[in-house]
Amino acid sequence: MTSLTRRTALAAALALPLATLGGTVDAQTRTYVLTTATTGGTYYPVGVALATLAKIHLQNAHGIDMSAISSAGSGENTVLLRENQAQFAIMQGLFGQWAREGSGALEEAGPQDNMRSIAMLWPNVEHFLLHSSLVETGTAADLANLSGHAFSIGARNSGTEHSNRFLFDNFGVDYDSWELVYQGFGPSIDSLINGTIMGTNINSGIGVGTVTRARAQMGDAVTLLSVTDEELARFDGGTGLYFHITIPGGTYPGIDDDVLTIAQPNFLAVNADVPEEDVYLFTRTVYENLGFLCNIHPATCDMSLDNAMAGLPLRLHPGAARFYEEAGLTIPDNIAPAD
């Protein structure tokens, strides 16, 4: 489904009035949309789990309903939030930084004054996959060997596409010499398996199913690249957003040793106009049910109140801030709700 068709369908299905936020099932129910990413990554299953929590715990008791939808990822999610086609979104930290500054992929659109943070979620881990015939060092330096070969950089206007361009620009790799293919995670892995591309980057939670499938079907014919200290510094470009993370041995078929790669934070964003009480109740529900989320996807198992605000790129929504204050946390000045 194209972005335009998706937005049209959303508008028709929810019948969102221009002057109100969210559709209404009846006078007591507020209906919200949580936008995620493509179905082959981590955002979508976790988004469905978050929406399910809202339905179970908040629909009957508080009149809050929520549905999760797939999208092209953080790039489209920014537009959906801005146009009120969605009220909640899972986003890359990089897009939160761009939204606050009106920079990067959002320079033309400018600062996204309607966006607020709710919580940090889990690390968005870079899985650089390269056909083993192009591997020499086993590190990100081997990306230079893609010259003249096909590489899937992500669906057009997706968070994956934009963050990959950010990383590769910083790294100094000549990706204009590659044959760029624009596909989501699932189709990218299909293409890698059938040999029509030679590499891709799956930026998702540890244990993502698409990487498992690639290794299960290709075995040693595909390599999960590691990232050195020097390569991390180049990828990050001085932003301080990216950090090292270890993919434990045994996570993916046939990879018995730990793989050191990089990650950026994912966070949960919300439209500033969502009522404080609704965001408060939703935030509380999430943190009261972390075990449920961990059972849905292992990427969420590290979520806790201790790291709920670590590295948030946008100011908190007052509803989330209220929950954290009640939980005894101190809110940093740089993300405290604006007056």
The CA distances from residue 127 to 85, 91, 263, in Å, are 31, 18, 9
Q: Which residues pair with 222 in a beta bridge?
A: 131
Q: What is the model's pTM? A: 0.83
CA–CA distance, 125 with 74 (Å, rounded to integer): 15
Three-class secondary structure assignment of 31-66: EEEEECCCCCCCHHHHHHHHHHHHHHHHHHHHCEEE
pLDDT at 15: 36
CA–CA distance, 166 with 126 (Å, rounded to integer): 13
pLDDT at 51: 97
Residue 167's nearest CA partner among 185, 149, 179, 154 is 154
pLDDT at 339: 65
pLDDT at 315: 97
Helical segments of 55-127, H only: 60-62, 74-82, 93-101
Q: At 247, phi and psi to the nearest 5?
A: -90, 110
Q: At 132, phi and psi to the nearest 5?
A: -65, -20
The CA distances from residue 289 to 88, 119, 331, in Å, are 18, 14, 22
Per-residue pLDDT tens, the chain, 339 aa: give them.
Answer: 444 434 433 443 343 333 334 444 445 899 999 999 988 888 999 999 999 999 999 999 999 999 999 998 999 999 999 999 999 999 999 999 999 999 999 999 999 999 999 999 999 999 999 999 999 999 999 999 999 999 999 988 888 999 999 999 999 999 999 999 999 999 999 999 999 999 999 998 899 999 999 999 999 999 999 999 999 999 999 988 899 999 999 999 999 999 999 999 999 999 999 999 999 999 999 999 999 999 988 888 989 999 999 889 999 999 999 999 999 999 999 999 986
Q: At 243, phi and psi to the nearest 5?
A: -145, 160
pLDDT digits (tens, 9 = 90+) for 286-301: 999 999 999 988 888 9
CA–CA distance, 30 with 17 (Å, rounded to integer): 13
Fill in the amino acid letter for 183.
Answer: Q
- DSSP string covering 263-319: EEEEEEEEETTS-HHHHHHHHHHHHT-HHHHHHH-GGGGG--GGGTTTT--SPBPHH
Tokens linked to 186: 């699932």
pLDDT at 22: 45
Whether residue 124 contacts residue 204, with contact meaning beta carbons closer than 8 Å, is answered with yes
Fill in the amino acid letter for 141.
Answer: A
Domains of the chain and CATH, by start: 3-122+266-335 (3.40.190.10), 124-264 (3.40.190.10)
Q: Which residue reads 């950010």 in tokens?
A: 166
Segment (H or E) for 233: helix 229-236
Tokens linked to 141: 């330096």
CA–CA distance, 152 with 243 (Å, rounded to integer): 23
Per DSSP bridges, beta strands 243-247 and 259-271 are antiparallel
The CA distances from residue 248 to 6, 22, 90, 261, in Å, are 37, 41, 25, 11
Whether residue 135 contacts residue 142, with contact meaning beta carbons closer than 8 Å, is answered with yes
CA–CA distance, 209 with 252 (Å, rounded to integer): 9
CA–CA distance, 41 with 48 (Å, rounded to integer): 12
pLDDT at 163: 94
Residue 263's nearest CA partner among 42, 38, 106 is 42
What SS3 state is found at 185?
Answer: helix
Whether residue 284 contacts residue 305, with contact meaning beta carbons closer than 8 Å, is answered with no
Q: Which residues pair with 124 in a beta bridge?
A: 264
For the chain, count helices (H), then strands (E). 12, 11
For all residues of the chain together, what is the average pLDDT? 91
